[in-house]
Amino acid sequence: MNISNRKRVQSDLVNDKIPFKEMMVITGDGEKLGVMSKADALSEASKLNLDLLVVSPNSDPVVARLLDYGKHKYEQQKRQREQKKNQVVQELKATRLSPVIDIGDFNTKVKQATGWLKDGNKVKVDMRFRGRQITRQAVGREIMNDFLEAIKEYGEPTNRPKIEGYTMSVVINPKK
């Protein structure tokens, strides 16, 4: 089998599923047993009551290890679960303000965004200008600045609020 075909081979090549004729065989401790044919390597594995797993299919010769495949698979899954558990997923939460927002609604939006930032999520704040409100951007910018001031303890904006069409928006990152 040439090298270009080897790259398409699955990663879990075990025992009889190994398509290679010759391979470098190593023990679980890393001791080299030498280059063997597939039949010799499988007989060696069965003597030791172990499995033969290809660990490096792209090398020349292919490297196979003698190990307990069930235990190896379990340890792999355990490591993956541990990595997934320690992984922090950061979401982008969105809230929308208006240039004519009332103080009660404003405080509710601030409290909601503060909670999201405490949880470690990013917050995108949009201010929608409707109809002729676009001519009063100063009022909208003032409300947006008040919002940023209210949550500055928990997060900081990535950049200044930008106006794109009828929407002013800013993304806020949580403070570490």
Q: Classify residue 56 as exposed, middle or buried by CB count within 10 Å of its CB (0-12, 13-18, 19+).
A: middle
Which of 85, 96, 89, 93 minimizes the C-alpha distance to 147?
96
**Residue 3 to residues 23, 59, 64, 87, 97, Cα–Cα distance (Å):** 14, 8, 16, 35, 59
In the chain, count H helices and then E strands: 5, 9
Residue 33 has a pLDDT of: 84
Residue 2 has a pLDDT of: 45
In the chain, ranges of CATH 3.30.110.10 domains: 92-174
Residue 107 has a pLDDT of: 93
**Nearest-angstrom CA–CA distance, 148 and 125:** 10
Mean local confidence (pLDDT), 12-32? 82
- Residues of the chain with pLDDT > 90, as a percent, come to 23
Residue 112 has a pLDDT of: 93
- Note the residue count of the chain: 176
Which of the pair, 138 or 1, is modelled with greater confidence?
A: 138
Preceding amide of 57 cis, omega within 30: no
Q: Does domain 12-85 have CATH number 3.10.20.80?
A: yes
pLDDT at 171 over 70: yes
Mean local confidence (pLDDT), 63-87? 86
This prediction has a pTM of 0.52
CATH of domain 92-174: 3.30.110.10
In the chain, ranges of CATH 3.10.20.80 domains: 12-85
**Residue 166 to residues 44, 95, 146, Cα–Cα distance (Å):** 73, 16, 20
**Nearest-angstrom CA–CA distance, 164 and 171:** 14
